[in-house]
Amino acid sequence: DVKVTQSSRYLVKRTGEKVFLECVQDMDHENMFWYRQDPGLGLRLIYFSYDVKMKEKGDIPEGYSVSREKKERFSLILESASTNQTSMYLCASSFRVGRVYTFGSGTRLTVV
Amino acid sequence: GIQVEQSPPDLILQEGANSTLRCNFSDSVNNLQWFHQNPWGQLINLFYIPSGTKQNGRLSATTVATERYSLLYISSSQTTDSGVYFCAVELNSGYALNFGKGTSLLVTP
């Protein structure tokens, strides 16, 4: 089975800090995605990537950036964390467009 | 963008009951998936079903792409079925899954 691993389960950061959320998949998937999940809003797409060094904005990219230097790793970066970025962050990967997604177990980030 | 509407938003069942969850979407899609999110937040893929019918144990799903809806059936529900069920779709011209807001299911003993 494909495994998608997110480096932290829970994270507490201070306002203004630069925050890195890491995601690694082990099945040579082309596509990787970052979503955030908030009560009442469901899952919203932040950024995605179809290939190494390639990135595309999703629906809510403001305040975030990403990095994909290697195929298996997709990092989400909060340039200057703010309290409204307190959320559950979910990483996913898929073999290609239109195929099954596999999600990581999520990182619950609190910004104080 | 594409609209994904799930109903009902909340559902409470007694163990052993059956239920049907619905997902309506507003455009043609090439990808539709149902997920279950457990109480710890993990999203598990239940079905990849852009069209047709599939069954997996007590769960089955049907997607009628021409009428833009999908149904998830849960039979003989168990307490472990509790959690949030999400429908997610990807446009034919799209690039990533768009999620509905989910159906929160509680199965009581």
Q: pLDDT digits over A5-34, tens only?
A: 998 999 999 999 999 999 999 989 999 999
**Residues of chain B where predicted confidence (pLDDT) is lower than 70:** 93
Q: Are B95 and A48 a contacting pair at CB < 8 A? A: yes
Contact B90 A59 (CB under 8 A): no
For chain A, give the mean pLDDT: 94
| pLDDT score recorded for residue B56 | 96
For A86-101, what is each residue's pLDDT tens digit?
A: 999 999 999 877 788 9
The answer to whether B90 contacts chain A (CB < 8 Å) is yes
Measured distance CA(A47)–CA(A55) in Å, rounded? 7
Chosen for mutation from A103, A108, A109 (greatest number of chain B CBs closer than 10 Å) is: A103
pLDDT tens digits along A65-74: 999 999 999 9
Predicted pLDDT at A97: 73
Q: Enumerate the residues of chain A whose CB falls inside 8 A of the CB of residue B43.
A: 90, 92, 103, 106
Distance CA A98, CA A55 (A): 18
Q: How far apart are CA B60 and CA B97, in angstroms?
A: 21
* A39 in reach of chain B (CB within 8 A): no
The four Cα atoms A4, A8, A10, A15 give a dihedral, to 10 degrees, of -120
Please give the pLDDT value at position A83: 98
Question: Does residue B109 have a cis peptide bond before it, meaning omega lies within 30 degrees of 0?
Answer: no
pLDDT for position A27: 87
**A43, containing H or E segment:** strand A42-49
Find out whether B93 and A35 touch, Cβ atoms under 8 Å: no
pLDDT band at A2 (very low <50, low <70, confident <90, very high): low
